[in-house]
Structure 1
Amino acid sequence: MATLGVSTVTGQTRILSCIAPGELRLSTTSLGVCGPNEVLVKVLRVGICGTDIHAFAGQQPYFTYPRVLGHELSVEVVAAGSPRDLDMLGRKGYVIPYLHDPDSPASRRGKTNCCERLEVIGVHRDGGMSDFLVLPARHVVPSDLLDAEQLALVECLAIGAHGVRRSELRAGETAVVVGAGPIGMGVIQIARARGARVIVIDPNSQRLAFCREKLGVTEAVDPREHSVEEAVAALTDGGLADVVFDATGNPDAIARGFALVGHGGRYVLVSLVKADITFHDPEFHRREITLLASRNATREDFDTVTRLMEAGALAEREMITHRAELEQMPAVMAHWCAPATGVIKGLVHVND
């Protein structure tokens, strides 16, 4: 395997590529180059998220084919290209998959999550559905306390942590989370950790049950059974939400979410849709709603999640409902993407 100072790494690695919508292909290729300020990592686990599902379905707006999927990664560092990174060798960690330009205006303002020249591994460049991967050393964060499965879920939960931080949610405020998928579950858990009251909206009864049983949610609304606006109004004595978080990825749901925001409240769009969003401007102004986009996460959000994980304050393990080996994924992926399968978080085992 590679050693410090050797830039050309020899050997082969398996890669799982999405070569077209609905089609994954497992192949092998030569290992890449581990240069200065880079590390070679062995991929341990890969979490499957909405971005992967949308890319597989041909609905990801920033995606081109073919592409190696995978950005929710736990890894082990096996080689380093610079002396200062030697202390990372042999350590497990998570990956911050948002490769930013430190000299860009956004990055200089600390907004590395939405850098003008941002590249997300597994989206804009090949990701972690492979045995080995070369990454910038600064994007691999070692952890001696969390295991491989926990580390693979840090990025997913950091998305929720970033949205909550963007909202400036305070203890005692009411947060309505629309969409109880993995991202919404991250928002729920971080919001509750901040001391907020959380109301969850989702048409999937299994996910609402999971939120009640595993995440401590006591107020949940199924829009198939109730008018969401009337239900939220009844639960808040007419005041509606201090903050609404959309995690649906559904443009119609996003448009309807404006009606759930109380006067002076905030609306945070955590999900991304390939559509235009419209709202009724007079009502938007009457309530003086603050509208916020929330993209990716920063190191501060990752640190929030790892701190809560280490304290046992999150239910990250319970979110893992399905597991598969890398070589099984061409046959399994379509099944995992089907809502009836009941997947909350699928986890791909790549290496031990």
Structure 2
Amino acid sequence: MRAIQISDVKTLRSIEIDEPSAPGAGQALVRTHRMGVCGTDVSCYLGKFPFFDFPRIPGHELGVEVIAVGDGVTNVKAGDKCSVEPYMNCGTCYACRRGAINCCQNLKVIGVMTDGGLCESFLVRADKLHTSTKLNYDQLALVETLAIGCHANDRGNPTTGDHAMIIGTGPIGLATLEFARLTGASISVMDMNPDRLAFVEKNYGITNTVLFKGDGSEVERMKEITDGDMYQVITDATGNKHSMSGALAYLAPTGSLVYVGITTEELSFKHPVMHRPEASILASRNAMPGDFTRIIGLIEDGTINTDTWITHRTSFTDVLKDFESFTKPETGVIKAIIEVS
């Protein structure tokens, strides 16, 4: 059976793997139709993601079809179209016992810590499948990215009347924006790329855009937007150590900074920048099962429109030659989709 593997830094190869066995109790055999390429996949490919080891078959943003189910499975059946919740938690550790299964101490994320869905078919825990009778496979593959943003927004919890800012308008920043805009907060976005800011203004109607130049003009723009108050909630989706270290300076008193982007490098700031506003620093990791259910419903009813997300597309056959371009912002990539079958 065909699969694509990240075998080393910036190295993809086509491999043959064994066909999966029949599903056991609690399992489902699924066929991969679509895989979304996200910042995590790019970081893994570039050798920059902290939870990744070579070699690995990637693929955690997935739209799949159920082929068969094992004993005891009642939530899905053969023929169902599903999004995959890729976070394989243990169910018994401290975090799981507290309901924080996204922070499981023994967590295995498929496509990152174990082999994922960039193959023809694979076995998965059936309880990690979320069905829809309305969404297509492209939309189902986008649910996981949106779930990351949903959870990040919930961590910051902006409300009506707040000024909230999202730093970084890649897929995770855009996913956070999808949910921040539903809260009633006044939303700003900041990026170094004017084309991405134009994308946000065109597709989301966000006029409070901030172009980061590093010369102080961005701070003046923030003060203009907020009447000098600055931001009650900031979500940094860049994964850039300089951005993540500097974001505290943009907080309003008693504000919260949410890190959803990940870096392997050290962050640094002088303590008063955190102490003076009595700031809260929060991390956002993965997502929760309920986020998947909510997002599927929001796409189904038209609240979230995924049409503008997919800017690039490739086939299973052409992944090897096309993937490198997905790592380059200058190609205008927002979200690439791999058509596996």
TM-score (norm 2): 0.97
3-state SS in 2 of match to 1:230: helix
Q: Distance in 2 between matches of 1:300 and 1:108?
A: 17
Question: Is 2:261 aligned against 1:304?
Answer: no
1:275 aligned partner? 265
Q: Distance in 2 between matches of 1:157 and 1:86?
A: 22
Question: CA 1:76–1:332 in structure 2 vs 1: closer, same or farther (change >3 Å)?
Answer: same
Letter in 2 for 1:327: T
Deviation at 1:95, TM superposition (A): 0.3
Question: CA 1:200–1:143 in structure 2 vs 1: closer, same or farther (change >3 Å)?
Answer: same
Maintained 8 Å contact 1:214/1:315: no
Q: Distance in 2 between matches of 1:184 and 1:15?
A: 30
Deviation at 1:226, TM superposition (A): 6.0
Deviation at 1:26, TM superposition (A): 1.1
Deviation at 1:116, TM superposition (A): 0.3
2:326 aligned partner? 336
Maintained 8 Å contact 2:88/2:108: yes
Give the number of equivalent residue pairs: 339
Deviates more, 1:338-347 or 1:31-40: 31-40
Matching residue within 30, 38, 46 for 2:18: 30
Letter in 2 for 1:222: L
Matching residue within 46, 52, 56 for 1:57: 46
Deviation at 1:83, TM superposition (A): 4.1
5+ residue gaps in structure 2? Answer: none
Give the CA RMSD over aligned residues: 1.3
5+ residue gaps in structure 1? Answer: 1-12
Maintained 8 Å contact 1:26/1:327: no
Q: Distance in 1 between matches of 2:272 and 2:162?
A: 25
2:204 aligned partner? 215
Q: Distance in 2 between matches of 1:229 and 1:315?
A: 32
Question: Is 2:88 aligned against 1:99?
Answer: yes
Letter in 2 for 1:120: V
1:141 aligned partner? 130
Matching residue within 24, 30, 43 for 1:41: 30
Provide Cα deviations, 1:29-51, integer angstroms capped at 9, x if missing partner: 21123211100000010000001
1:259 aligned partner? 249
Deviation at 1:283, TM superposition (A): 2.8
3-state SS in 2 of match to 1:31: coil
1:292 aligned partner? 282
Q: Distance in 2 between matches of 1:32 and 1:89?
A: 16
3-state SS in 2 of match to 1:170: coil
Question: CA 1:61–1:135 in structure 2 vs 1: closer, same or farther (change >3 Å)?
Answer: same
Maintained 8 Å contact 1:20/1:65: yes
Provide Cα deviations, 1:284-317, integer angstroms capped at 9, x if missing partner: 1120101100001001222232222122122322
Matching residue within 120, 123, 139 for 1:131: 120
Counterparts in 2 of 1:123-202, with a 5 A limit? 123-202=112-191
Question: Is 2:72 aligned against 1:72?
Answer: no
1:6 aligned partner? none
Letter in 2 for 1:114: C
